[in-house]
Structures are given as C-alpha cells and as structure tokens.
A = this chain, B = another copy of it.
C-alpha cells in the first residue's frame, strides 16, 4: 500500500531559519512525513525541538550519527527514507556522506559542502550508491524559471548572447553578526560558512540560476570581491564578469550590503532573436521580448503554450500567487516522487527528475573557489 515518504532532519532546531523552510516545503504537498530528527548538536535543544514538532521522544536524536545508525535498525517503512540536511555549511558534508554510506537518500541545503574536495567525494558516493540526492537551489523551483529554461532550450530566443544575473540583499549592510542574529553570525564566519560569504550564500544561487536557465556552463570568471563592512571576515559583495560556453558573455553581481533590498535575485537573458526577464520578488511573471513587436508577459498558469515543467510546478489557478515556499516545495515534491518510484521499483516521470543535484553542488563550490582565486590574483580571467 502506498504511504508518505518518511523524512529525518539534521539541524533546524529552535532559532534556526532554513530548517523551518524545509519542513514547510516538505509538508505543503502532503507526500512527506517528518518522522525523526537530530535538530541540534545540543541534545537538550534537539529534544525540545522534537517536542515542538510533535515527534515521539524516541525518534529525536542527540546527533546525526546516532540518528542514522538507529534509524537504519528500524524496519523499512517505519524508518526514515531520507535525510534532510539543514545545518550551517560546515555540517553538510558529514551527515550527507554518512547518510549515503548507510543507504539513505539525501536532501541537502546549499552550498553542498565546505570545499570542492568534499563536493567531489559526495559526487562519487552518489554515483556509487545510486541514491537520490537533491540540493535545494530552490529558485529553480519556480514555474516561470522552468518556463524560461524551456524556452531557451527550445530556441525561442535563439542562441544565447548575454546574461545579467544579480542578487542584491541589504540585511548585512551593518555588523549584524555582532547582534544576536544567528543567521548573520554563521554566515560571516569562515569556520562555518567556508571561503565565500555573500558569494557562497547567494552568489551560488545566481550562478546556478544562470546555468539552469541558459543551459550553458560558465567557462571563465573575472571578479572583484569585497568586504565592505569593517571587521567582517568574509566577503559581502562581489562583481563578476562571466564568459560562458558558445561565446556568451555575462555579468553576475551579488551583495549583502545593498541597503534596503530584500531578496533581489533577478535574471535577464538575451539571445539572437529574443530576451527573457525574471524577478524573484515578483516570481509569477516572465517577460519575453522579441526582435519586433511588444513584450509578452507570461504568467504562471496563464495560457496554453506554457511548457510541461512549468505547468507541473504550481498548485492553484493563475492570479493566486504562489511564492518562495511553493517553489521550494517543488524540489521536495519531485524528490518525493523519485523516492516513491524507487520504492515501487519503477522509473520516475522525467518531469519529476527536475531538481538540482550533487552536480549542481559541485559547480557551486568550483564557482566560489575560482571567483575568489581570481579576485585575489592578478590574472584577468580564471577558467572554471
């Protein structure tokens, strides 16, 4: 008999941010059940978090190691089917590796690891185990982002010439890490975030979005990475020139000192015969431009010529705005469908395999490494 997929969570205890997002995203489509968790490295905090989530005490663990080993002993169907990893960056690799080694599928927050080397190890493990690995580059979950990708792939704007992708935020314009803001504290700490600050946190989203929509890999970067806020130990701003496969050029800039900007991920792509424009803060519109004639404003769910992937990515009729959580949920929904297919011994619908994977994670790690290498060096272009 069919059942919901069972999730165990690493991280996301009281006071965390992204863990709650993952739980909502997993809950929205009612295909996933939270059955256990190691919500904090502090066992008492993990226990209290489990209570908040109405979990039985026996399924709330003091560490991810304990969770993985104990759950593995439970019968299939009772034990968790996958691990969701929502910790700060430096605690992605450990649980991901151990989960894969013990036969659990994985959903992991981004960036995938702390270093390129760790990312390569995970790639190898995923390939060896054949387990399902989703990385929550959630912005690719929006219907109009999928529509954009499909239009580029189908030649609707011709060969891509130029990409402008940007991700300004303003929340770290001051020393928020000196307040009690936990998010700010670990994101500006190289021991927990890795070598990239804004670059790792949001620059990788921009990089992933550009490659996802254009279908082109970035081949070279030329960067100017800056720490504007005095005393901060990681970058809070980056301006980057891009070169991509096929001769396309681009600009990527991201910032966490863009005062007053909330979460301004935007992308524009111009090809030989058309253009695309998408704004994360108004995500249900995709503006399509043409060589001659007026701009067409595609909208989530409006019209009969939207792509299948776009049409599969929303839940309610046009004009009832879906947002960030629903886009995030699309990753969980597709991931769950793939796990269901695995349980049933079938192949998933190709539409359901449309989520970022460990390979996207590796790209992101290389991107951060190469951008910082270029910014610190004197050569103009660095290959990636």
Chain A interface (Cβ within 8 Å of chain B)?
Answer: 2-4, 17, 20-21, 23-24, 27-30, 34, 51, 53-54, 157, 161-162, 164, 166, 168-171, 173-174, 222, 224, 226, 228, 237, 239, 241, 243, 249-251, 253, 255, 257-264, 268, 270-275, 280-283, 288-299, 302-305, 315-326, 378-380
Q: What CA separation (Å) do A147 and B378 show in the bound complex? A: 39
Chain B residues, CB < 8 A from A271 = 259
Q: How far is the CB of A177 from chain B (nearest CB, A)?
A: 15
A191 to B53, CA, bound (A): 44
What is the CB-to-nearest-CB distance from A49 to chain B, in angstroms, rounded to a whole number? 13
B318 touches A325 (CB 8 A): no
**A161 is contacted by which of B237, B250, B380 (Cβ under 8 Å)?**
B237
Are B23 and A257 neighbours in the complex by a CB distance under 8 Å? no
- The reply to whether B289 and A161 form a contact with Cβ atoms under 8 Å apart is no
Contact across chains for A28 and B28 when beta carbons are under 8 A apart: yes
28 example contacts (A-B, Cβ-Cβ < 8 A) are as follows A24-B28, A24-B29, A28-B28, A164-B166, A164-B168, A164-B253, A168-B268, A170-B289, A173-B272, A173-B291, A222-B224, A224-B241, A239-B241, A259-B290, A259-B291, A260-B289, A261-B270, A262-B299, A262-B302, A262-B319, A293-B302, A294-B296, A294-B297, A295-B296, A296-B297, A321-B324, A322-B324, A323-B323
| Given A251-B251, A293-B303, A302-B294: A24 in contact with B315 (beta carbons within 8 A) | yes
Q: Given A241-B241, A297-B294, A304-B293: A257 and B166 within 8 A (CB)?
A: no
**How many chain copies?**
4
Contact of A237 among B27, B249, B299, B315 (CB under 8 A): B249
- Point out which of A51, A157, A164, A304 has the most chain B C-beta atoms below 10 A from its C-beta: A164
Q: Are A289 and B157 in contact (CB under 8 A)?
A: no
Tell me which residues across on chain B come within 8 A of A258, comparing CB atoms. Answer: 162, 268, 270, 275
CA distance A258 to B250 in the complex (A): 12
Q: Which 6 A-B pairs have the closest CB atoms?
A: A260-B289, A262-B319, A263-B319, A321-B323, A320-B324, A293-B303
Q: How far is the CB of A217 from chain B (nearest CB, A)?
A: 17
Contacts of A303 in B (CB 8 A): 292-294
**Contact among B259, B262, B283, B315 for A157, CB-based, below 8 A:** B259
Give Cα distance in the complex from A383 to B85, angstroms.
Answer: 47
- Residues from chain B with Cβ under 8 Å of A164 in the complex: 166, 168, 253
Q: Is the pair B275, A260 in contact by a Cβ cutoff of 8 Å?
A: yes
Could you tell me the distance between the alpha carbons of A52 and B1 in the complex, rounded to whole angstroms? Answer: 11
Expressed in whole angstroms, the Cα–Cα distance for A2 and B51 within the complex equals: 8
Asked if B320 and A257 sit within 8 Å, CB to CB, the answer is no
| CB <8 Å contact, B320 and A289 | no
A168-B270, A261-B319, A378-B380 are known contacts; what are 4 more A-B pairs with Cβ within 8 Å?
A164-B168, A173-B291, A258-B275, A322-B323
Give A213 Cβ to nearest chain B Cβ, in Å.
Answer: 15
- Given that A258-B162, A315-B24, A321-B321 are known contacts, is A251 also in contact with B239, CB under 8 Å in the complex? yes
Shortest beta-carbon distance, A239 to chain B, in Å?
Answer: 5
Asked if residues B302 and A162 are in contact (CB atoms below 8 Å), the reply is no
CA gap between A204 and B161 in the complex, in Å: 22
Closest to A25 in B: B28
**Bound-complex Cα distance A268 to B170 (A):** 13
A325 / chain B contacts, CB cutoff of 8 Å: 28, 315-316, 320, 322, 325-326
